[in-house]
Amino acid sequence: MVMAVYPGTFDPVTLGHLDVATRTASIFDTLVVAVYAEPEKEMTFTIEERLDLWKRSAQGLSNVEITGFKGLAVEMARKVGAQVIIRGLRTASDFEYEFEMTFMNRDLAPEINTICLMPSPAYHYISSSLLKEVSRLGGDITNFVPSPVADALNGKLS
């Protein structure tokens, strides 16, 4: 059984994140979406809210588990027995960051591979930061996030 971990802050989960998770779930036996509990950046949603939004957004994915974590993603992967870390790439700057992170993770945990997936073209330009700004300014975000996230963002930022 091959397990993958998809770590991130997911503040909030977008349709791009869900697209990567859905495609990953079709490749691996189990996907663990690991929501980082203690990022350095200021978050809009608490860890509990981000976990809840993921759980409600990924209900149709039977082989996906949602959990929170602290510390290094490679340690999270080891803890759950995953062989692969999934990372999403949207832009060239994402690639540069993930390239460095992949080699660091390889040094820390050589037994765990990193696979990068690009979201479908419809979600290529979507970022959580941009969505929060659009929502804060009264724009319609329903085409970019799962409906539970749109409701939560609109309630929190309006």
Measured in residues, the chain has a length of 158
Q: In what order do the strands lie in the sheet with 3-8?
A: 64-69, 30-36, 3-8, 84-88, 113-117
Q: Look up 41 and say whether it is catalytic.
A: yes
Partnered with residue 115 across adjacent β-strands are 86
Q: Look up 128 and say whether it is catalytic.
A: yes
Active-site hit among 23, 55, 79, 90:
90
Which is it for strands 64-69 and 84-88: parallel, antiparallel or unpaired?
A: unpaired
Q: Look up 124 and say whether it is catalytic.
A: no
Active-site hit among 57, 87, 128, 132:
128
Q: Look up 57 and say whether it is catalytic.
A: no
Residues 70, 47, 13, 146, CA torsion sign: positive
Catalytic residues: 17, 41, 90, 128
